[in-house]
Amino acid sequence: MKISAKTEYACIAVMELAANKHSNVPVRIRNIAEKHNVPPRFLVQILLQLKGAAIVSSIRGASGGYQLTRGPEQITLGEVMNIIDAPARAGKRSSAAPTVGSSTVGVLTKAWENAERKRQDHLNDITFADLVRMAEEGNV
């Protein structure tokens, strides 16, 4: 499975926010960027995209930063990945691929669609609360 850097950084940011959810203190971009070696300017864009999707909210001011809008048990890995990668994955099919066709093309297309559906179902079963718990337990 190929994961873009943008998606990886988004998941890292959401994990950091999930890990700090109970402190009720907003997490600063600088803290996430330094801890995980993520370019801060790129992280700003990602957090704005997550804010637009109502995954995070921002708090302005000297003690500002970002927080999750819902509990980490209500946000799934699949949801975040789809928010970040949905535009990139639209129309992934090769232009050289046959559009109409034989039963071979139909069978392959159905198999790929089933595999993608199972992948998405699996990612939607993993919450950020699960991921934080696994990280705390050292299940890497």
Which domains does the chain carry? 5-137 (1.10.10.10)
Give the pLDDT confidence score for residue 90 in this predicted structure: 46
pLDDT band at 91 (very low <50, low <70, confident <90, very high): very low
pLDDT higher than threshold 60 for residue 46: yes
Span 28-36, mean pLDDT? Answer: 95
pLDDT higher than threshold 80 for residue 100: no
- pLDDT, greater one: 2 or 101: 2
Distance CA(55)–CA(41), nearest Å, equals: 19
Q: What is the mean pLDDT of the chain?
A: 89
Residue with tokens 């994990």: 15
Span 121-137, mean pLDDT? Answer: 95
